[in-house]
Homo-oligomer: A and B are copies of this chain.
């Protein structure tokens, strides 16, 4: 992919070319097309670097400041298809905020959410699991003056089985739906999975229906939630396709190459797909919910690896007369083996599935969960463990709701009072009932319930 410096040099050359053609009094069409190319390259440059192009001023920090996640920040790789780092503590999220140009969720914002909703903030907010945002204050400003918004999140259905990490955005989204009382759209990108994986269209669509059951089991309000398969909804909504085409007209291959690292050997489906993930950010993609209104703002809770899609969306939005979506970004859910990668459904040993039995959960945690403890009990008692790299402790920050209990576990583990086996037991006893309860709720989700959630229809929406 092009680096900011490559693009800077091409831009400089194109600027000279334009001046040359003008000086030679080239014909009008020639001058115009050269100028248009120059303007496009400037747009590309801005998107790639976040800076305006200035002749004679090369991009600053070309290696580190690159806005494209396909480039590495030291060892951290973060893009929609790959998350990895060499640090056992996981990705450096403060650096990621700088690189992506988003805003940190400060205590002040958490307090404001509490004030506006009158509810205790979700522990994902209290503990920095949702750690970054774009325009969240704008959403709250509008909400305070009785202008509501809608939520949009999604899932790529690459298999029938979801793991506990997949629950994070949905658990948080459900909380947001409850405390703000707003409608939600959930995009199942079965077309994306077909394009990226060696799967048939039929498989991808079947996974959509399976995964929808797990999502519904999180407890979303059927009167306020629309779950859709791209493969179905694209063919069921001219309004949705119109927005896809609008986005597709305003993004060049150069731009998606810079943002997603696509190459000339990628299929044209991948290249144009980002527009399909962008379209649900605009309220008139859902006329059954919002009529022809395009002024209902969208708030997207998602893992930070999805941000490239929405950086692109936010760049395009004003150019097609729409509002930029706001975002809330979560950290990744680490693999059992350690926070160097996120949990992946394609590696059964790295994952605790929503279908696992109590026994499987116990075995996986005991066998695979990376420990921050010492090699022997004696050493551990003397020196204490390291909760910052201990996967069991990390999982507890996600799923143990009691702040005081969590803090006591951290201190006891660090002091050596709590052994690794005891910490793992704590996690097992948290996960087992949580997953059993999920399985119970999932059993109650009938084909009819799925059909209901997935039918394009009016939702409750007060605005």
Contact = CB atoms under 8 A, between A and B. Distances in A.
A208 to B, nearest CB: 12
Contacts of A250: 267
A12 B363 CA distance: 51
A263 B254 CA distance: 9
Interface in A134-164: none
B268 A248 contact: yes
Contacts of A246: 201
Contacts of A265: 37, 40-41, 252-254
B235 A238 contact: yes
A322 interface: no
B37 A249 contact: no
A66 interface: no
Given A272-B271, A274-B268, A249 B40 contact: no
A133 to B, nearest CB: 27
Contacts of A268: 248, 251-253, 256, 271-272, 274-275
A237 B237 CA distance: 9
B245 A191 contact: yes
A114 interface: no
A379 interface: no
A241 interface: yes
B241 A267 contact: no
A219 interface: no
A232 B245 CA distance: 12
Contact of A231 (B241, B248, B252, B275): B241
A236 B234 contact: no
Nearest to A238: B235
A242 interface: yes
A206 interface: no
Nearest to A276: B245
A194 interface: yes
Nearest to A2: B264
Interface in A250-284: 250-254, 256-257, 262-269, 271-272, 274-275
Contact of A253 (B194, B248, B264): B264
Contacts of A256: 268
Contact of A241 (B41, B235, B275): B235
Contact of A267 (B195, B235, B248, B266): B248
Contact of A194 (B41, B249, B252, B271): B249
Interface in A188-204: 191, 194-195, 201
A240 interface: yes
A239 interface: yes
B272 A201 contact: no
A322 B242 CA distance: 28
Contacts of A236: 235-236, 238
Interface of A: 37, 40-41, 191, 194-195, 201, 231-232, 234-242, 245-246, 248-254, 256-257, 262-269, 271-272, 274-275
Given A201-B242, A271-B272, 10 more contacts: A191-B241, A201-B245, A231-B242, A248-B272, A250-B267, A252-B265, A253-B253, A253-B264, A253-B268, A271-B271
The 7 lowest CB-CB distance pairs between A and B, nearest first, are A248-B269, A235-B238, A272-B272, A235-B241, A268-B272, A234-B241, A254-B264
